[in-house]
């Protein structure tokens, strides 16, 4: 599946990754940072008088420190005009692999009438690239390209939000770092022909980069996306983001495509932070080295799917179940994220808007093309419980009724299996019904939980003992609000009253202890490079950086008794020490 994404900058690679961070998301992110830190803490933007490449290299060093991995290959920094960008993108889209991927994606989207007869996926992508580009990382040529500011009219230059330039480049260098260690280009090529798998891969890769970009804006204060307040901000910001502004900004683009650009960044950041909070960045490295998410169900429901070792259902229909005559069969998987975007129509929904999606266990669409060029579709899906399957069936019937008024369709269910068949021809109603009925006999291979276990996962038990093989075991009281305890091979977490009364976290990246609603705290974070402790009213201390970049500040009795920094100290507001170099 050819990838088109919505992030802070256009990031297009020969394997098909495109990203641009829109105005609404930038504004939400900036407001959260300002609320938690104050504007003075945000990194400055690169000004016209600066050596831009030197400044971008500083962001590279910051990304290496925050990610905890070296950059194993050199990344060139280059400047392009909009016209140069357009030509390079057109050239890339004509490469055999990319051309085939775009055509396959175009075919899939037309089956659901996401694209109309006058629209072309290739042209939509080119328009998107031309209008929204700010900078991008090229995986194949290992270069980070920034667009000339005079020609850039995207969110980065128009809004001018403080610190967003830092976010952009640290985010892109996260891609460069992970590419140098884990081969993102190869992984993207392996997944690009399957929509759901590709969405899952993009969610994971971009989720990491979003977290790193946010941490770069929080650098220099005792807060990052792994601390309790920062993690709450990530989850609230990403899950509850208002998509109406995004839709309005990209109103020329079908809402399904807009959602496919936006949601992987938001949902991916929540997924990645869920694991990173437990065991640090090492947990995310372990995903690259071990089992990558293969479905968006794993991204959206990590406790229900990914941490349970989920394997999606596979379908093996007989040739007769696909129709009487055809010359070619194309298959794909839509997945949880794709289904939510389809059913939402002109809006951009989340999976939470459709509760039955948590029961998704696999789907596969079969597109048959006859000798006359006409296409028919069979979409099979399997669900954890019959109730989930029934809910999806009614939703799909409403979708087909609206989108294929002049055509024929049939949606049928037997137990947990749903079969949907539709055609452009109004005269094929009976044919669709017969094919859907035959399709319900399709062999399905899946390891599903028992009815009792499935219902048990959804009941609000006052006490739970979650066990995630290879990750952690724990205990929760009242959903973790009263008490939560988790331990794994490299981490321990314990909290009372949803971290407000007591919170203890220990993993390779950080140590965190807080009590009394966070008034008494001790935090040490290796990646964000700070140490902080505070005793209510009495004293506080913060150290950031190391060696020549080290700085610190401390105070006693809110600074009334004494306070100081690495440059000066005062007692009762009377200076007692000042760095002579600073004073000069």
pLDDT tens, 315-360?
999 887 887 667 788 899 999 999 999 998 888 888 999 999 999 9
Ranges 34-43, 158-167, 262-271, 455-464: which has the least confidence? 34-43
Average pLDDT over residues 235-264: 83
CA gap 32, 167 in Å, rounded: 14
What mean pLDDT is predicted for residues 359-372? Answer: 91
**CA distances to 22, 33, 213, 424, 581 from 39, in Å:** 21, 8, 16, 56, 27
Q: Calculate the alpha carbon distances from 84 to 7, 18, 87, 128, 380 in Å.
A: 21, 16, 5, 15, 44
Pairing of strands 510-515, 502-506: antiparallel
Cα–Cα dist 183/13, whole Å: 13
Q: Give the phi and the psi of residue 238 in degrees, each rounded to 5.
A: -75, -40
Assigned token pair, 78: 């280059």
**Structure letter (DSSP) for residue 294:** -
How far apart, in whole angstroms, are the C-alpha atoms of residue 127 and residue 184?
25
SS (H, E, C) 7-36: CCCCCCCCCCCCCCCCHHHHHHHHHHHHHH
Write down the domain spans for the chain.
23-292, 314-450, 461-583
What contacts 243, CB < 8 A, 6 or more positions away?
24, 259, 262, 347, 348
476-505 per-position pLDDT tens digit:
999 999 999 999 999 999 999 989 999 999
Strands 76-80 and 143-147: parallel
Model confidence band, residue 132 (pLDDT cutoffs 50, 70, 90): low
Q: Tokens representing 142?
A: 């290992």
pLDDT, position 267: 95
Place 133 in a pLDDT band, splitting at 50, 70 and 90: low
Q: At what angle do helices 23-37 and 255-279 cross, to 10 degrees?
A: 30
Average pLDDT, the chain: 85
Cα–Cα distance, 310 to 304 (Å, whole number): 8
CA angle 513, 517, 522 (to 5 degrees): 25
For the segment 257-272, the average pLDDT, to the nearest whole number, is 92
Q: Which residues contact 571 (CB under 8 A, 6 or more apart)?
A: 561, 562
User: What is the pLDDT confidence band of residue 149, given thresholds at 50, 70 and 90?
Assistant: low
pLDDT level of residue 468 (50, 70, 90 thresholds): very high
Q: From the centroid of its chain, how far is CA 450?
A: 31
Tokens standing for 448? 């599903």
What band does 23 get if pLDDT is binned at 50, 70 and 90? very low
Distance CA 37, CA 314 (A): 48
pLDDT band at 266 (very low <50, low <70, confident <90, very high): very high
For tokens 């420190």, the residue is: 65
pTM of the full structure:
0.90
Over residues 17-44, mean pLDDT: 44
Q: Do the beta carbons of residue 304 and residue 457 sit within 8 Å?
A: yes
Q: What are the φ/ψ torsions at residue 180 (nearest 5 degrees)?
A: -70, -25
Give strand ranges (E) for 437-509.
Answer: 444-445, 463-464, 467-468, 472-477, 483-487, 492-496, 502-506
162 has a pLDDT exceeding 60: no
> How far is the C-alpha of 409 from the C-alpha of 422, rounded, in Å?
4
Query: Between residues 4 and 66, which one has the greater pLDDT?
Result: 66
Residue 17 has pLDDT above 80, yes or no: no
d(CA 515, CA 527): 23
pLDDT of residue 6 exceeding 70: no
Element spanning 403, H or E: helix 386-403
- 377: three-class secondary structure by DSSP: strand
């Amino acid at each position: 599946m050819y990838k088109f994404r919505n992030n802070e900058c256009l990031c297009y690679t020969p394997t098909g990754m495109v990203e641009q961070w829109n105005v609404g998301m930038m504004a939400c992110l900036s407001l959260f940072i300002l609320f938690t830190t104050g504007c003075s803490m945000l990194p400055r933007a690169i000004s016209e008088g600066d050596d831009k490449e030197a400044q971008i290299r500083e962001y590279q060093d910051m990304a290496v420190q925050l990610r905890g991995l070296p950059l194993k290959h050199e990344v060139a920094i280059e400047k392009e005009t909009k016209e140069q960008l357009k030509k390079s993108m057109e050239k890339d889209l004509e490469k055999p692999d990319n051309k085939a991927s775009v055509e396959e994606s175009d075919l899939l989207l037309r089956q659901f009438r996401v694209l109309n007869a006058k629209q072309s996926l290739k042209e939509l992508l080119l328009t998107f690239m031309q209008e929204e580009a700010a900078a991008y990382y090229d995986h194949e040529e290992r270069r980070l390209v920034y667009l000339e500011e005079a020609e850039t009219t995207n969110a980065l230059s128009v809004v001018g939000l403080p610190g967003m330039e830092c976010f952009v480049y640290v985010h892109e260098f996260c891609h460069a770092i992970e590419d140098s260690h884990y081969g993102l280009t190869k992984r993207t090529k392996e997944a690009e022909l399957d929509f759901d798998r590709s969405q899952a891969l993009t969610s994971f890769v971009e989720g990491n980069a979003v977290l790193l970009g946010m941490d770069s804006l929080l650098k220099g204060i005792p807060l990052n996306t792994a601390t309790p307040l920062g993690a709450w901000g990530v989850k609230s910001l990403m899950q509850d983001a208002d998509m109406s502004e995004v839709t309005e900004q990209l109103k020329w683009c079908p809402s399904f495509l807009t959602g496919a650009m936006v949601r992987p960044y938001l949902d991916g950041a929540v997924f990645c932070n869920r694991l990173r909070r437990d065991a640090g960045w090492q947990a995310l490295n372990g995903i690259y080295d071990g089992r990558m998410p293969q479905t968006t169900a794993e991204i959206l429901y990590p406790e229900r799917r990914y941490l349970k070792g989920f394997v999606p259902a596979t379908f093996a229909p007989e040739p007769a179940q696909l129709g009487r005559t055809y010359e070619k069969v194309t298959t794909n998987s839509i997945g949880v994220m794709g289904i939510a975007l389809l059913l939402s129509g002109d809006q951009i929904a989340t999976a939470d808007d459709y509760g039955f999606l948590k029961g998704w266990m696999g789907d596969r669409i079969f597109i048959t093309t006859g000798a006359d060029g006409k296409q028919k579709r069979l979409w099979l899906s399997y669900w954890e419980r019959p109730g989930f399957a029934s809910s999806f069936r009614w939703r799909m019937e409403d979708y087909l009724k609206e989108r294929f008024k002049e055509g024929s369709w049939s949606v049928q269910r037997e137990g947990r299996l749903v079969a949907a068949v539709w055609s452009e021809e109004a005269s094929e109603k009976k044919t669709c019904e017969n094919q859907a009925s035959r399709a319900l006999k399709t062999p399905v291979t899946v390891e599903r939980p028992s009815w009792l276990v499935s219902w048990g996962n959804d009941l609000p038990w006052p006490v739970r003992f979650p066990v995630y093989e290879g990750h952690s075991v724990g205990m929760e009281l009242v959903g973790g609000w009263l008490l939560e305890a988790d331990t794994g091979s490299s981490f321990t977490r314990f909290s009372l009253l949803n971290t407000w009364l007591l919170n203890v976290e220990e993993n390779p990246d950080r140590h965190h202890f807080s009590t009394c609603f966070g008034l008494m705290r001790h935090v040490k974070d290796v990646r964000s490079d700070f140490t902080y402790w505070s005793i209510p009213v009495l004293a506080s201390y913060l150290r950031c950086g190391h060696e020549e970049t080290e700085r610190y500040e401390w105070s006693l009795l809110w600074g009334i008794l004494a306070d100081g920094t690495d440059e000066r100290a005062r007692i009762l507001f009377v200076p007692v020490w000042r760095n002579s170099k600073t004073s000069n």
